[in-house]
Amino acid sequence: MKITKSKLWKHPGLMATILKNSPPLDPSVILFNSEVYMIKKGSIISFLTLKKYDGFYELKTAYTYPGYRNKGYAEKLVKKVLSTTDSDLFLQCDSKLEKLYKKCGFKKTDKMSLLFRIRENLFNLFLSRIFGYKIITMRKK
């Protein structure tokens, strides 16, 4: 199984998936020049977007299409990203996914930039009841 890397803007179908599943997935990734890592079996079955900031990366969207879920594809993509960067890597996710990301070496953190703190607080205060979950911020050094 091959993992390929590209720029998100080159894949309008992935952008449509992100928008269709928003706000649980982060649509702001489309506004940035984000990288995308993909696994294909004919067509794309799983993808992960990554945004580079000054001094760190943020894992923005990890998505596996229905029918291919629970087979480890997202975990393989996360591990690929981890093997390609030495910088700090942050993510914000449903607290139910904490166990998955811990397997990849992430830890829940309270030490985060103002951007992450604002996003986490706003979501948990105003949107968590609508979507039925709270988000947490995790970090991998």
Domain boundaries, the chain: 3-140
Residue 2 and residue 45 in contact, taking contact as beta carbons nearer than 8 Å: no
% the chain with pLDDT above 90: 44
For a pLDDT cut of 70, what percent of the chain falls above it?
94
Q: What is the DSSP string of 42-107?
A: SEEEEEEEEEE-SSEEEEEEEEE-TTSTTSSHHHHHHHHHHHH--SEEEEEEEGGGHHHHHHTT-E
Please say if the pLDDT value at position 24 is more than 90.
Answer: no
> For residue 106, what pLDDT is reported?
94
Query: For the whole model, what pTM was predicted?
Result: 0.83
Beta strands across the sheet bearing 107-108 = 3-7, 35-41, 43-52, 56-64, 88-94, 135-140, 107-108
Look up residue 5 and give its amino acid: K
Does the domain at residues 3-140 carry the CATH identifier 3.40.630.30?
A: yes
Span 1-17, mean pLDDT?
90
Q: What is the pLDDT, as a whole number, of residue 138?
A: 94
Checking if the pLDDT of 25 tops 60, the result is no
C-beta separation of 135 from 95 below 8 A: yes
- Which of the four pLDDT bands, split at 50, 70 and 90, describes residue 15? confident
Q: What is the pLDDT of residues 51-75, one digit of tens each?
A: 888 888 999 888 999 999 999 999 9
Query: Mean per-residue pLDDT for 19-36?
Result: 72
Q: What is the pLDDT of residue 39?
A: 97
* Gap between the terminal Cα atoms of the chain: 27
CA 78 to chain CA centroid, nearest Å: 9
Residue 136 pLDDT exceeds 60: yes
Q: Give the C-alpha separation, 15 to 68, whole Å.
A: 19
Mean pLDDT rounded to a whole number for the chain: 88
Please compute the mean of the pLDDT values over residues 90-106 and round it to a whole number. Answer: 91
- How many C-beta neighbours within 10 Å does residue 58 have? 22
